[in-house]
Amino acid sequence: MSAARVFRTVDAHCEGEATRVVVGGLVEVPGETMFAKRRYLETERDDLRRTLLFEPRGQSCLSAVFVFPTRNPEADAGFVIMEGTDYPPMSGTNTINTTTVLLETGRLPMSEPVTELTLEAPAGLVAVRARCEDGKCVEVTFRNVPSFATHLDAPVEVEGHGTVAVDIAYGGHFFGLVDANKLGFEIVAEEAADLAALGERIKTAIGEQVEVSHPDNPGIHDIGLFVWTGRPLVGGDARNATVVSPGRIDRSPCGTATTARMTVLAARGELAPGQEFVHESILSTTFRGQVVEEVAVGDLRGVTTEVTGSAWIYSIQSVIVEPSDPLPTGYTLSDTWGTATPRPFDPAA
């Protein structure tokens, strides 16, 4: 067998949400920062994302992370996040999965009982604290980039559902949040397909009717994810289902969505700094979070948050593309990729 391209990967899941962490086989990716590398990958080398995440080598409920050396003297490593349709500037589950992989495989040194490090994400620097025992990363706490709410109860017109009240907050990317219970959902596994389909429709409507822009980085200006919020079912403080494009539910409580939810609660005066917040996923796995302090983001009132969760490595492998493979960058079909459509075969990719 001769391979045109080989990626060395370590796969892990964080409370149910899977990440393919690419630790070898990358091409040269220019850029002084992770944001610049993200932009290059998005505009010039999106074939790499498609190869790793599209079928037959990937699947719709999988993210990927490229790990890079960083030129930021305050950071220990950098990473760029890739999902089924885009490149999020920040992701909590991917941060927890990546930290666990880097420490448990020895790519960064592990100190017991606590390892502290800083990762550079496209959204900025992320401080990480990992509790470690007997070579295992037991749990990871990350301090997210500063977050802020831009809209509370904004009216958005959704065809077939009238006016829907939407909260919008930045927690590493912009989220639209809607109360699922008010629309008749409980956020349970049996509702996943309906939650994903309607969530994508509402997210599209938000993007068409509400403008957002990060005050310190105008390059971040889209509603990246949609979040269904709801009452807890297993003893937490709240429940959520984050809709990831092209139309599936995040299996974990979603770290950046947990930040966005806490940010909205803080903006309403319903969550004080230091108060623990337990966030449930559609699988009833949980993250613990808290607002650390109030901060200014441009001329907006914001907060910094910490979120804690655990991850488990489940696969170490090489992902291979043979020269004769007729589908080198994979494909998507609408039976498992929601509204996605097959990409035409590009023999030059």
82 φ, ψ (degrees, to nearest 5): -130, 135
Contact 217, 173 (CB under 8 A): no
Instruction: Report the distance separating Cα 85 and Cα 226, nearest Å.
Output: 14
Pairing of strands 5-14, 17-24: antiparallel
Pairing of strands 223-230, 174-179: parallel
Give strand ranges (E) for 144-249.
Answer: 147-158, 162-170, 174-179, 223-230, 238-244, 248-249
Among residues 91, 147, 245, 281, the one annotated as catalytic is: 91
Specify whether the backbone of 135 is left (phi greater than 0), alpha (psi in -120 to 50) or beta.
Answer: left
Provide the token pair at 158.
Answer: 């959704």
Provide the token pair at 175.
Answer: 């989220």
Tokens 């930040």 correspond to 259
Contact 314, 12 (CB under 8 A): yes
Which contiguous run of DSSP H or E holds residue 253?
Answer: none
**Residue 115's closest CA among 130, 125, 101?**
130
DSSP conformation letters of 59-79: -TTEEEEEEE----TT-SEEE
40 φ, ψ (degrees, to nearest 5): -65, -45
SS3 192: helix
Taking only Cα atoms into account, the Rg of the chain, rounded to an integer number of angstroms, comes to 19
Concerning whether 310 is annotated as a catalytic residue, the answer is: no
Contact 122, 34 (CB under 8 A): yes
Instruction: Report the distance separating Cα 8 and Cα 320, nearest Å.
Output: 9
Mind telling me the catalytic residues?
91
